[in-house]
Chain A
């Protein structure tokens, strides 16, 4: 017998709100998570992603809306009654209990017989590959091992939902990559429905089935990683997905699916992701990977080179335009510092966004 997770169809957040001070508030967060899904909540710090997770876990009360597990309302339950597994940012392992006791804690609290606890803890130890370490105290383990204990402790109670709060943020870069693969493997083996909070878009892109981008307590976009990466719906989502060049200009024409901007006299045409109208201010967003040194012409803008760095296969440089726009670009050939160049890219690589409304929306 293996660890069998509770059966259910979906977890639904129905306009969950939390008003509490200016920071970490949530407004009308609605989201449906299907069984077996791996969902990443992504956003900058203070966007409300950890608040959302704590509300689902029951560690913070919601002030509006409801959370449903199929047809059972869970937001009114105390955390110990919800039965969700949670992996904490600092692991929160019980320092006075050894690995085996830590993993078995949830089963013991449920009053399960000792034989059953032992069997399930052994399975969990195998799953996270910690056999042989079971009698150590958390203080004697490395960061990665502590992480594995935290995961085993959360899944051994066979929860319908596993919540992970930035579980990799305390690890060094190499271990983070290893544990990322490990989390993916465990997810594949168990099919545990998971909500994973992170501020690192690489982590979200590589792990999640769907990504939820939060900002200022509001859901900005929900979609598969590829969708978010290639077609961010808003300017701030694009910013988060690596569109580092932001060219402010005026809309001069809308031709079919092409929107043409005037940026410091140059014509830049791209795909509009938000509704813009002729004459309004808009932004053209371009990834640094897509902006290359080229000839003058359409979709090209003149700039002066500020820095240039060798990055192995290519060069990455920064430049500024006469009007004060800053650029990050790549180049296959070295360019002279201070030289005048033209930076250009293809139409389909340029996304056009309306000017963001200042403040919270």
Chain B
């Protein structure tokens, strides 16, 4: 790698790093504002609050019925992770191992929900779900959230499965494994790291998936992020600190899973889906 040592190059580098630093500083300060406010007794017109308290957490917990919301959130996420894993991994296996007419069209079909923003396809999707009566129910929320996650699992798993030599499977067959044993003893252990990574990414993305849940959720099927939106939307009704306490609870649930996920995946995978394919 060529490192330039002229004055101009050094100034340029300094400017670039200053921009990065400015961005991260603001990001952390923004998060810090929320956390500080959630512990504040009164915070008006000063750098730091007048005093510290944890009572907003108890009040937010009861005001927003966070226990119920958290249970719904994790039920939704659990269902989404399980179903998208089952549908996604099987489809990815077929797409990675077989070439058949219409395969490119099918891959495009799976790519589209990831490229089109949820708001665009969410409105017609919500309309259909309202007409079938699924909207507002638990399964309606799960179904809407599956639309981008199933393709996500497929596209993460295809390159992962492709890099496993098919001769390994052939060898297992030669040594007498039937389809079931092949799956249990050979494929599953080989695929497990990829499945784990894909599902953790699905989990992190689903906690933060606002638009689709917002469009189809009813009062009893709200997830945490939608509840937070309504709380901020109706700001003024409740104390700011109470909303911030809820935001901190949301952040903690998200970040715990993010930290777990980052033990298994590279942070860039949250954005770029596995290895970049050369642009053709």
- Is B2 engaged at the interface, CB distance under 8 Å to the other chain? yes
Q: Which residues of A (60-77) have their CB < 8 Å from a CB of B? A: 61
- Is B165 engaged at the interface, CB distance under 8 Å to the other chain? no
A61 CA to B2 CA, complexed, in Å: 9
- Is A180 engaged at the interface, CB distance under 8 Å to the other chain? no
CB-defined contacts of A79 to chain B, threshold 8 Å: 2
- Is A78 engaged at the interface, CB distance under 8 Å to the other chain? yes
- Is B4 engaged at the interface, CB distance under 8 Å to the other chain? yes
How many residues on B have C-beta within 8 angstroms of the other chain's C-beta atoms? Answer: 3
A79 CA to B3 CA, complexed, in Å: 10
A78 CA to B2 CA, complexed, in Å: 9
Q: Which residues of A (34-64) have their CB < 8 Å from a CB of B? A: 59, 61
Q: Which residue of chain A has its CB nearest to the CB of B3?
A: A61
A59 CA to B4 CA, complexed, in Å: 11
A61 CA to B4 CA, complexed, in Å: 11
CB-defined contacts of A59 to chain B, threshold 8 Å: 2
Q: Which residue of chain B has its CB nearest to the CB of A76?
A: B5
A33 CA to B276 CA, complexed, in Å: 45
User: In the assembled complex, how far is the CB of residue A170 from the closest CB belonging to chain B, in whole angstroms?
Assistant: 20
A79 CA to B1 CA, complexed, in Å: 11
A61 CA to B5 CA, complexed, in Å: 11
Q: Which residue of chain A has its CB nearest to the CB of B1?
A: A59
CB-defined contacts of B3 to chain A, threshold 8 Å: 61
CB-defined contacts of A61 to chain B, threshold 8 Å: 3
Residue of A59, A61, A78, A79 most packed against chain B (CB within 10 A): A78
Encode A76-91 as 1/0 by CB contact (under 8 A) with B: 0011000000000000
CB-defined contacts of A78 to chain B, threshold 8 Å: 2, 4
A78 CA to B8 CA, complexed, in Å: 14
A79 CA to B2 CA, complexed, in Å: 9
User: In the assembled complex, how far is the CB of residue A165 from the closest CB belonging to chain B, in whole angstroms?
Assistant: 16
User: In the assembled complex, how far is the CB of residue A92 from the closest CB belonging to chain B, in whole angstroms?
Assistant: 13
User: In the assembled complex, how far is the CB of residue B68 from the closest CB belonging to chain A, in whole angstroms?
Assistant: 57
Q: Which residue of chain B has its CB nearest to the CB of A59?
A: B2
A79 CA to B4 CA, complexed, in Å: 10
A276 CA to B82 CA, complexed, in Å: 74
Encode B1-21 as 1/0 by CB contact (under 8 A) with A: 011100000000000000000
CB-defined contacts of B4 to chain A, threshold 8 Å: 78
Q: Which residue of chain A has its CB nearest to the CB of B4?
A: A78
User: In the assembled complex, how far is the CB of residue B279 from the closest CB belonging to chain A, in whole angstroms?
Assistant: 12
CB-defined contacts of B2 to chain A, threshold 8 Å: 59, 78-79
Q: Which residue of chain B has its CB nearest to the CB of A58?
A: B2
User: In the assembled complex, how far is the CB of residue A54 from the closest CB belonging to chain B, in whole angstroms?
Assistant: 11
Q: Which residue of chain B has its CB nearest to the CB of A79?
A: B2
Q: Which residues of B (1-43) have their CB < 8 Å from a CB of A? A: 2-4
A78 CA to B4 CA, complexed, in Å: 8
A131 CA to B119 CA, complexed, in Å: 56
Q: Which residue of chain B has its CB nearest to the CB of A61?
A: B3
A78 CA to B3 CA, complexed, in Å: 9
User: In the assembled complex, how far is the CB of residue A137 from the closest CB belonging to chain B, in whole angstroms?
Assistant: 14
User: In the assembled complex, how far is the CB of residue B4 from the closest CB belonging to chain A, in whole angstroms?
Assistant: 7
User: In the assembled complex, how far is the CB of residue B106 from the closest CB belonging to chain A, in whole angstroms?
Assistant: 28
A59 CA to B3 CA, complexed, in Å: 9
A305 CA to B2 CA, complexed, in Å: 55
A38 CA to B212 CA, complexed, in Å: 68
Encode B43-78 as 1/0 by CB contact (under 8 A) with A: 000000000000000000000000000000000000
Q: Which residue of chain B has its CB nearest to the CB of A80?
A: B2
User: In the assembled complex, how far is the CB of residue A88 from the closest CB belonging to chain B, in whole angstroms?
Assistant: 14
User: In the assembled complex, how far is the CB of residue B277 from the closest CB belonging to chain A, in whole angstroms?
Assistant: 16
User: In the assembled complex, how far is the CB of residue A77 from the closest CB belonging to chain B, in whole angstroms?
Assistant: 11
Q: Which residue of chain A has its CB nearest to the CB of B9?
A: A78
User: In the assembled complex, how far is the CB of residue B1 from the closest CB belonging to chain A, in whole angstroms?
Assistant: 8
A61 CA to B1 CA, complexed, in Å: 10
User: In the assembled complex, how far is the CB of residue B183 from the closest CB belonging to chain A, in whole angstroms?
Assistant: 39
Q: Which residue of chain B has its CB nearest to the CB of A78?
A: B4
User: In the assembled complex, how far is the CB of residue A138 from the closest CB belonging to chain B, in whole angstroms?
Assistant: 15
Encode A106-139 as 1/0 by CB contact (under 8 A) with B: 0000000000000000000000000000000000
What are 5 A-B contacts with C-beta separation under 8 Å? A59-B2, A61-B3, A78-B2, A78-B4, A79-B2
**A binding-site residues for B, Cβ under 8 Å:** 59, 61, 78-79
What are the 5 tightest A-B residue pairs by CB atom distance, in nearest-first order? A79-B2, A59-B2, A78-B4, A61-B3, A78-B2
